[in-house]
Amino acid sequence: MNTLSYGLLAMLTGGPRTGYELMQQIQPLWRAKHSQIYPLLAKLEQSGSVRFVPVAQKEKPDKKIYSITEQGLAELREWIPRTTSEPVKRDELLLKAYCVALTDPFTAKSLIQNRITLYQSKLEKYSQMLAELKNKLDGELSLTSPGFGNYILLQRAVSNSQAELEWCGWVSGLLPPSPSNQ
């Protein structure tokens, strides 16, 4: 069983979800497309780690609501203490940043500006999610509370987005100002 499979099981500890929802939820932690997730869910179902209930919908496609089984939970419990692999990061912008001296200040600025726009929307989204979770938890937070994992991950997503934006701002400041165009 590969890491993404464990990841899907992990997401299901938060409650029953469809494949589509799992795909969306796992994105910030582990990039994966639906074409990879659906076949894995089918395998997990066949091996007894998850089960699903088909739900017919009018005016929308039918769906399958998956939940984790006792067997799946047991698999997660033995996976958690196992050696954790190092995070994988691949960022095209950083490759471009290394050789940014090859371009004009104009192109350099738009490169950074695009990244700023991207992380501003992420920051907005995650801040909102964090705020909602905070008032749902209402001060109650410990390792055993159900929203704990979600809480620490959202906090991380928010501060990461902020750090990303700070770096972009700092780099922008180093770039020569173009008065005619900004």
Partner DNA sequence: CTGCGCATGTAATCGGTTACATGATTCT
Partner DNA sequence: AGAATCATGTAACCGATTACATGCGCAG
Which residues bind to a second copy, rule: CB under 8 A? 3, 6-7, 9-11, 13-14, 26, 28-31, 73, 76-77, 79-81, 84-103, 105, 107-108, 110-111, 114-115, 118, 141-146, 148-150, 152-153, 155-156, 159-160, 163, 166-167, 170-171, 174-176
Q: How far is the CB of 131 from a second copy (least distance, A)?
A: 18
Listed residue (123, 149, 147, 126) closest to 136, CA to CA: 147
For DNA, the binding residue among 8, 9, 12, 41 (CB under 7 A) is 41
Residues 76-115 that bind DNA (CB under 7 A): 88, 90
Question: Which entry of DNA, a second copy, none binds 127, CB below 5 to 8 A by partner kind?
Answer: none
Nearest to 162 by CA among 119, 117, 131, 133: 119
Q: Which residue, chain included where needed, has tokens 């469809």? A: 18
Piece of 13-21, 72-80, 97-105, 140-148 that binds DNA (CB under 7 A): 13-21
Q: Under DSSP, is residue 80 helix (H, G, I), strand (E, B) or coil?
A: coil
Task: Tell me if 61 contacts DNA by CB under 7 A.
Answer: yes
Look at the alpha carbons of 146, 149, 152, 154 in this order and tell me if their dihedral is positive or negative: negative
CB-wise, 26 or 130, nearer to a second copy? 26
- The DSSP secondary-structure symbol of 54 reads E
In angstroms, the CA 73 to CA 75 distance is: 5
For residues 123 and 162, the answer to whether their CB atoms sit within 8 Å is yes
